[in-house]
Amino acid sequence: MKEYKDTEGEWDHVIQSQTSLFDLRLNEVWHYRDLLFLFVRRDFVTVYKQTILGPLWFFIQPILTTITFTIIFGNVAQLSTDGAPKLVFYMAGITLWNYFSTCLTAVSGVFNANAGIFGKVYFPRLIMPLTIVISNLMKFVVQFVMFLVFVIYFYFQGEIQPNFWILLTPIVIVLMAVISMGIGLILSSMTTKYKDLTMLIGFGIQLFMYATPVIYPSSSIPEGYQWLIQMNPLSGLFDYMRFAYLGVGEFGLTSLLYPTGFAFIILALGIVVFNKVQKSFMDTV
Question: With 80 as the cut, is the pLDDT of residue 4 above it?
Answer: no
Q: Region 225-230: what's the mean pLDDT?
A: 88
Look at residue 285 in the predicted model and tell me its pLDDT: 52
Q: Please state which of the ranges 110-119, 182-191, 232-241 shows the lowest mean pLDDT.
A: 110-119
Measured N-to-C along each axis, helices 86-108 and 196-210 cross at an angle, to the nearest 10 degrees, of 160
Measured at the CA of 4, the angle between CA 37 and CA 22, to 5 degrees, comes to 65
CA distances from 94 to 213, 227, 249, 263 (A): 10, 23, 17, 20
17 and 122 Cβ atoms separated by less than 8 Å: no
147 and 59 Cβ atoms separated by less than 8 Å: no
Per-residue pLDDT reduced to its tens digit, 148-189: 999 999 999 999 999 999 999 999 999 999 999 999 999 988
Q: Which residues contact 276 (CB under 8 A, 6 or more apart)?
A: 21, 189
Please state, as a whole number, how many other Cβ atoms lie within 10 Å of the Cβ of residue 125: 20
The full set of domain ranges for the chain reads 26-283
pTM value is 0.85
What is the C-alpha to C-alpha distance for residues 277 and 271, in angstroms, rounded to an integer? 10
Q: Region 74-97: what's the mean pLDDT?
A: 91
Look at residue 161 in the predicted model and tell me its pLDDT: 92
Look at residue 260 in the predicted model and tell me its pLDDT: 95
What is the C-alpha to C-alpha distance for residues 88 and 90, in angstroms, rounded to an integer? 6
What is the C-alpha to C-alpha distance for residues 171 and 247, in angstroms, rounded to an integer? 19
Per-residue pLDDT reduced to its tens digit, 68-83: 999 999 888 888 899 8
What is the C-alpha to C-alpha distance for residues 83 and 66, in angstroms, rounded to an integer? 17
The CA dihedral of 134, 135, 139, 140, to the nearest 10 degrees, is -20
Question: With 90 as the cut, is the pLDDT of residue 14 above it?
Answer: no
Measured at the CA of 256, the angle between CA 235 and CA 186, to 5 degrees, comes to 65
Q: Region 224-241: what's the mean pLDDT?
A: 91
Measured N-to-C along each axis, helices 127-156 and 86-108 cross at an angle, to the nearest 10 degrees, of 180
Look at residue 281 in the predicted model and tell me its pLDDT: 58
